[in-house]
Amino acid sequence: MVKTGESTDVEERPKWDNKIQYLLTCIGFAVGLGNVWRFPYLCQIYGGGAFLIPYLIALVFEGLPLLYMELAIGQRLRKGSVGVWNSISPYLGGVGISCMLVSFLVGVFYNTILAWVLWYFFHSFQEPLPWSQCPLNVNHTGYNEECVASTPVNYFWYRETLDITADIGISDSPRWWMVICLATAWSVVYICLIRGIDTIGKAVYVTSTLPYLVLTIFLIRALTLPGATDGLIYLFTPDVSSLVNPQVWLDAATQIFFSLSVAFGGLIAFSSYNPEKNDCERDAVAVGVINSATSLYASIPIFAILGFKARSNYNTCLNQYVNVLVLTNHFEISDQNITVENYDHWLGYLNASFPDEVSSLKNIRTCNLQTFLDQSASGTGLAFIVFTEAVIEMPGSQVWAILFFIMLFSLGLSSMFGTIEGIVTPLIDLKVVPKQIPNELVTGTSVVCLISFLMALVFTLGSGNYWVEIFSSYVGSVPLLIIAVFEIVGVSYIYGMKRFGEDILFMTGRRPNIFWRACWTFISPLLLKGVLIAYVIVQAQKYPSYPAWNPDYEFFPQTQMKPYPNWVFAIIVLLCVLPVISIPLVALYRLILCGLQRKSSNVRPNPYVNDGYTGETA
């Protein structure tokens, strides 16, 4: 790293127009789809409000220190990830390359999700919504059998959108409608990145703020829905007993880590466009707190709507199986006395008074509101199945569907900015592309976008959804944890805390306090290593499998769990190893190179050989 007080600007570097652009870009990169569909799911399955305890601990001792460190080294060195880690130590040059590879692989599959969002967005203008009812069969004599056997929502997702195969080994041809949506998604990314931070800085005014506007609209509407209170009580009622489960702490640590988007290289790239005299500590705290607050804020309308859906399903259960009518007739109770609203009270009273008679009733089905609230889903299952099903029941369903998918697209697009910038900035810093080529072709990432689009075509195949799940589960997990361990160890122990503290003093005017030093030196490295080891152990305990949508499965519409074939398992291992293999390879290369240089410098000229003597020449 440079000496404290020296300027690192060898040549003019682009800068943000203002501080707001920079903060919005970092917030947009950190706040992504996981804040909407992953965090609420973890709260749902891990004791509601109790999950916040390990989550906040992980934020303070793991997330914020690593976020602060990345913003600081990017701002001080004013380079992309490859240049930063080469400057810190030539032996750590592979860390920057790993950041680039992970960003590239994540961007390839992440933008496919945006293509799915566009597909739903385009169909949200139809009246009625196409996932609200089953289509007719080929002969127009009835409804489609696969749809009737499952639900219209499931059918639209698995058959109309993905046209999914029953096995990952059966690919079929690319689905042309998905190819068009994928090309559109990559075109939007290219347009927003066409002139680097100049266009990114303008785009984030919309993409980073629009989700909060939509979430607020959803919040106001969701709180007025029947059953919203049930969902919010479910969210905020803590189940402290869940904290004894080690998996809760592991998922909390990984969630905060991935949610902040550290170890991708994008945050280093964004901060490299800052002036050197900037309070990066305040920026890190602001981005980290806003990211976590957004997760909590998004959980409120999500759980309110899930509560509405649970209450609707509960009422449907009672009406469908005529429980109210059966109790009314059997016990000769006056009409209208037992209603859907007071059904639980009456059933409890009759069970206590006439338990044998109630148990003998054959037409009564157990309808439990808690059971419907416990039905959890995350990721695409929450966005494209659970939430779309809830939207159908809301008045003005088209409007809410349009707003929801606009919000998802904005969240994903902001995250793509940082992902692609984590690839492009190091390439520009390394001068891989000649300066003579126009900015629109280079900093607009046309080559990166084109290559990514071509690779992403595999996700438009009939088995494409299975491959998205593989990339999502394995590319953005172990490799990022490994990169983070090397990052924090590299700065704390190879570069040294004393020198790093001097750099922060130069940038912010004050030295890092004891909390940051303790986290960087001891707490965060131990936490990251522990999370990495625990994550690998948990994953190694079971052979990986995937849920297949198979209409011929005997328990259809349940998904059929299938183990991955050996050749797919080999690809999974490759996806975990390939992004980080550059770390030991670069270190080994530097070590060998250093050894050869030392050996050559120690060779002395032989005085008994003519070549070893140099005399004066006339």
Q: Tally the C-alpha atoms within 13 A of residue 134's C-alpha that lie toward its C-beta.
A: 15
Give how far Cα 600 sits from Cα of 18, 221, 257, 606, Å.
51, 74, 45, 14
Distance in angstroms (rounded) separating the CA atoms of residues 499 and 495: 7
Show Cβ contacts of residue 449 under 8 Å, excluding neighbours closer than 6 positions.
186, 189, 190, 193, 420
Residue 412 is labelled as binding a ligand: no
Rounded to 5 degrees, what angle do the CA atoms 307, 312, 318 make? Answer: 125
Rounded to 5 degrees, what angle do the CA atoms 243, 245, 246 make? Answer: 105
Other Cβ atoms closer than 10 A to 458: 17
Identity at 453, one-letter amino acid code: F
Q: Is omega for the bond preceding 238 within 30 degrees of 0, making it cis? A: no
Distance in angstroms (rounded) separating the CA atoms of residues 377 and 380: 8
- Terminal Cα distance for the chain, rounded: 46
Residue 30 is labelled as binding a ligand: yes
Per DSSP, the three-state class of 547 is: strand
Show Cβ contacts of residue 473 under 8 Å, excluding neighbours closer than 6 positions.
none
Residue 612 is labelled as binding a ligand: no
Distance in angstroms (rounded) separating the CA atoms of residues 180 and 164: 17
Residue 452 is labelled as binding a ligand: no
Q: What share of the chain is helix, strand, coil (3-state, %, to 5)?
A: 70, 0, 30
Show Cβ contacts of residue 240 under 8 Å, excluding neighbours closer than 6 positions.
47, 50
DSSP bridge pairs for 545: 563
How would you class 98 by CB atoms within 10 Å of its CB: exposed for 0-12, middle for 13-18, buried for 19 or more? Answer: buried
Other Cβ atoms closer than 10 A to 569: 13
Distance in angstroms (rounded) separating the CA atoms of residues 61 and 253: 10
Distance in angstroms (rounded) separating the CA atoms of residues 557 and 535: 31
Tell me, letter by letter, the H, E, C secondary structure of 401-422.
HHHHHHHHHHHHHHHHHHHHHH
Residue 315 is labelled as binding a ligand: no
Residue 118 is labelled as binding a ligand: no
Per DSSP, the three-state class of 546 is: strand
Residue 415 is labelled as binding a ligand: yes
Give how far Cα 404 sits from Cα of 38, 302, 353, 380, 492, Å.
16, 11, 48, 13, 43
Region at 302 (left for phi over 0; alpha for psi -120 to 50; beta for the rest): alpha
Distance in angstroms (rounded) separating the CA atoms of residues 452 and 99: 16
Residue 259 is labelled as binding a ligand: yes
Give how far Cα 196 sits from Cα of 29, 207, 330, 364, 500, Å.
15, 16, 73, 63, 29
Distance in angstroms (rounded) separating the CA atoms of residues 464 and 462: 6
Q: Are 379 and 38 in contact (CB under 8 A)?
A: yes
What are the CB-based long-range contacts (under 8 Å, 24+) for 194-200?
194/440, 194/443, 194/444, 195/439, 195/440, 195/443, 195/444, 196/14, 196/421, 196/424, 196/439, 196/443, 196/444, 197/14, 197/16, 197/21, 197/25, 197/270, 197/273, 197/421, 198/14, 200/25, 200/417, 200/421
Which amino acids are annotated as binding site, given as ranges? 28, 30-31, 35, 259, 291, 411, 415
Which amino acids are annotated as binding site for Na(+), given as ranges? 28, 30-31, 35, 259, 291, 411, 415
